[in-house]
Each structure stands twice: as C-alpha cells, then as structure tokens.
Amino acid sequence: MLAALLGLTFAMPASAQWKWRDKSGQTQYSDLAPPAGTPDRDILQRPGANALRGAPSPAVPASAASGTPALTPKSADPELEARRKKAEQEAADKKKAEDAKIAAARAENCSRAQAQLRTIDSGMRMARINAKGERVFLDEAARAAEAQRTREVIASECR
C-alpha cells in the first residue's frame, strides 16, 4: 500500500503535463501550454485533476491555452464590480462636465462673434490700435476682411 502511495506521489507531477502534436506531427510533452496557434484538435492532454484518473480533462478555453488570461464574469466579485461601475460613472461625469464646459465656451464665442458682425455691418466707424500704439481706422477693405473672418468664426462656433 505504501509503495502504491509513493508511486502515485511521484506520478503526480507527470500528470500535470501538456501533451500536443506540433506542426511536424511529433508528440510534445511540457508543463507549459502549447504555443499560440496550436489547434485544439492537436492538444491531446491538458493538466488537471482528471488527468490522474486517465479521463480527459475538461476543455480549456483557447485564451487559457495560449497563456492569455480569460475574461471573468462581471458578477464574480461584487466589490470589484462596484468599483468598476463607480469608475465608469466618474469617467462619464467627467466627460459630461468637459463637454458642458466646451459647449459654454462655444456659445460665448458665438455670441461675441455675432455681436462683432452686427457692429461691422452697422457701418459705424471702427478703429484698431497698431503695433506703434497709434489708432488706425478701418477702411472698406479691412472692414470686409474682418467681416469675412467673423463669419468664419460664426460658422465654426454657432452649430
């Protein structure tokens, strides 16, 4: 009985072996999973508790056989799921606040551009300060260029 127990003890590490056929048809044995891309039909044995009894082990997902972690169900850990939902909610709230901030800036730019265009179209005399600090009045060409630039701002900001 002791000899059988010892024999079984020494056989346990051998049962935790992968057995598969490689591309050339040779049978391979390893304690590591077969290389990625090995078809399931070529995997002859997977490590597991059933391997000791000689029964085939249950099918392992391809992601586990290739060494990549499999996706766990979302409800596996309630605390982890709650943290994930909280993080998603915070990210959504942050994006919503950023979108609202951008929308407010666009609305402000739109209203300023519309007011500027009304001023330009009113025909009122307009002046600018040049680089020397002198007041320079806009002629018709400068007024038309400023009106065109303002219309472009309105087209981009007032959507």
**CA atoms of 120 and 114, how far apart (whole Å):** 10
Q: What's the rounded Cα separation, in Å, for the pair 110 and 151?
A: 10
Strand residues in 5-126 grouped as ranges (E): 18-21, 27-30, 43-45
pLDDT in tens, 33-73: 888 888 888 888 888 644 444 444 444 454 444 444 445 44
Summarize pLDDT for 90-130 with one digit per residue, the tens.
999 999 999 999 999 999 999 999 999 999 999 888 898 99
pTM: 0.44
Q: What are phi and psi of 52, to 5 degrees?
A: -65, -35
What angle do helix axes 140-157 and 78-121 make, rounded to 10 degrees? 160
**How, if at all, do strands 43-45 and 127-129 pair?**
unpaired
